[in-house]
Structure 1
């Protein structure tokens, strides 16, 4: 699912999950550049919201970000998280 269409779907869904975790308007998060920092001022994800987001990603995609990315570099931005999840999707 690392094709462009699959990645775009993952990004769209992740933006929705990020908005939910950060309690932001989904339309606002949908318009942010992919390089927007998850913990920066635009999104302002808290550590607790980050944990909630990781749990939701694990349930929805079967990707345990915390176990696979010990340094959590994938939580830098919308783009890094999208790339990480799309790359680590379990194959069916």
Structure 2
């Protein structure tokens, strides 16, 4: 499984959406946009899941949290920073 696919699964779990729905979204889909509607609580769950799965602490390494802009930005960030 690619990093992007794994990140999409984590996003789906964090927001309680079907994995197939998130898998079908374009890469530039905004995490806080209407399709995913990431809330602050779901965002915290997502950051925890990313840290657990990939060993990447997004909040510690991306102080502006730009990595949470879209599916592509989060996937790219994780790929660049995973152990």
> If the length of structure 1 is used for normalisation, what is the TM-score?
0.88
**Corresponding residue number in structure 1 for 2:80:** 87
Aligned to 2:36: 43
Give the Cα separation in 1 of the matches to 2:22 and 2:66.
Answer: 20
RMSD between superposed Cα atoms in Å:
0.9
Per-residue Cα deviation, 1:37-76 (whole angstroms, up to 9, x for no partner):
0010000010100001000100111000000000000000
Give TM-score, length-normalised by structure 2.
0.97
Are residue 22 (structure 1) and residue 15 (structure 2) matched? yes
Q: Greater Rg, structure 1 or structure 2?
A: 1
Segments of 4+ moved more than 2 angstroms: none
Which segments of 5 or more consecutive residues in structure 2 lack a partner in the other structure? Answer: none
